[in-house]
């Protein structure tokens, strides 16, 4: 049986082995957190403890956390909820390399009459801060820019962005889904008004995330109903998934630095070996600041989807872009926004390592990758010769 190697941690992380027993132990705690009897109080206590653990890790107040179903809901709540309470301000600034749940929400807001300015990111993975300052005005309601890009791993200067945006009275939102577990996140120091997180990107269950809403900042709810989450997000809370998120924050949070020192060494070594052993390969966003686990590479004369499928047949799971855009025949909009040609973008793959990745897995991946790239390029050459002779 073909051994399986998982190198797609930016799409989702497996449940951490130390979190799984706690998930199982909580399966029997089935009370509704809104009920006042013993079963409800037990579930409510789990949510309260999780809120406190997450807040401690991210340096915010527990009451600034609004639990959601995940990143996409959090992004929609932030953008639509902020805009609905923005008064006369009717302009949004959004980076061109955001997650689809941000891009599509901004496009939806455009149909409601809001003006969206698209902030460019360079081929090196750097924000054009001069352009941002020119876009900002008293009409700006919100600036949204992720902290870590999901495809290249580039880290953006959010603290600088927040400072210049606040000077004109604009609110600031950041999709931080890809940051948690990869860098230290201090929400107080970053001074953003909203930030989005998802548990399944940090070794917890799918189905729970949260939106950080800075004290004193108003957000209109997307979902109306009961008074859960201080009337900011109605619906019975997913206590089991929230508990796993809290456990991850409490147990894994203190290990973030040490784990990412290990991953950075592993990633940098893999990057050097790919560039050395596979000719005509290029790392995307390499000159910009990146998180430790992410490597996005373009292989000339190799179709990315073909390479991905080839590796999948050999038990290796990687990605050609954002998981939420999988199945699309279009090249990565993130890479094309960064200046790659559609052809270059379609020849690119993302490798994302995780806390459970071993050196043996990376070595096996590289060995398999070298063979696959060589085979595909050989086929391309043969097809080109056949066309020339026809």
Rounded to the nearest angstrom, the gap between the alpha carbon of residue 281 and the centroid of all alpha carbons in its chain is 25
Among 94, 106, 324, 370, the one annotated catalytic:
324
For residue 303, give the nearest of 370, 355, 376 by alpha carbon: 376
Whether residue 270 contacts residue 366, with contact meaning beta carbons closer than 8 Å, is answered with: yes
324 is catalytic: yes
Active site residues: 324
């Amino acid at each position: 049986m073909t051994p399986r190697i998982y190198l797609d941690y930016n799409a989702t992380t497996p449940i951490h082995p130390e979190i799984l027993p706690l998930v199982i132990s909580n399966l029997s705690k089935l009370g509704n957190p809104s009920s006042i009897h013993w079963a409800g109080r037990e579930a409510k206590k789990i949510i309260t403890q999780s809120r406190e653990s997450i807040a401690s890790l991210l340096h915010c107040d527990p009451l600034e956390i609004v639990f959601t179903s995940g990143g996409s809901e959090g992004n929609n709540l932030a953008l639509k909820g902020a805009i609905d309470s923005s008064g006369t301000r009717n302009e949004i600034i959004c980076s061109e390399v955001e997650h689809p749940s941000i891009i599509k929400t901004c496009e939806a807001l455009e149909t409601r009459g809001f003006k969206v300015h698209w902030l460019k990111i360079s081929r090196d993975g750097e924000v054009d801060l001069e352009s941002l300052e020119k876009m900002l005005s008293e009409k700006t309601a919100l600036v949204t820019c992720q902290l870590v890009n999901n495809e290249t791993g580039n880290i953006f200067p959010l603290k600088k962005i927040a400072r210049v945006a606040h000077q004109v009275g604009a609110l600031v939102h950041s999709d931080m889904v890809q940051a948690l577990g990869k860098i230290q996140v201090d929400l107080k120091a970053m001074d953003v008004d909203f930030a989005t997180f998802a548990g399944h990107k940090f070794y917890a269950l799918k189905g729970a995330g949260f939106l950080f809403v800075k004290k004193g900042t108003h957000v209109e709810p997307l979902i109306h109903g009961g008074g859960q989450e201080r009337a900011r997000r109605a619906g019975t809370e997913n206590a089991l998934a929230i508990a796993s998120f809290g456990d991850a924050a409490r147990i894994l949070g203190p290990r973030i630095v040490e784990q990412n020192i290990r991953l950075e060494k592993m990633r940098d070594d893999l990057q050097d070996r790919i560039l050395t052993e596979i000719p005509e390969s290029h790392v995307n966003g390499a000159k910009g600041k990146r998180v430790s686990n992410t490597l996005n590479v373009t292989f000339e004369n190799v179709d990315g989807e073909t390479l991905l499928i080839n590796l999948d047949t050999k038990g290796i799971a990687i990605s050609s872009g954002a998981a939420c855009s999988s199945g699309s025949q279009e090249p990565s909009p993130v890479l094309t926004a960064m200046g790659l040609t559609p052809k270059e973008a379609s020849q690119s793959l993302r490798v994302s390592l995780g806390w459970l990745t071993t050196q043996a897995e990376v070595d096996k991946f590289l060995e398999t990758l070298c063979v696959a790239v060589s085979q595909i390029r050989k086929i391309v050459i043969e097809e080109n010769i056949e066309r020339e002779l026809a």
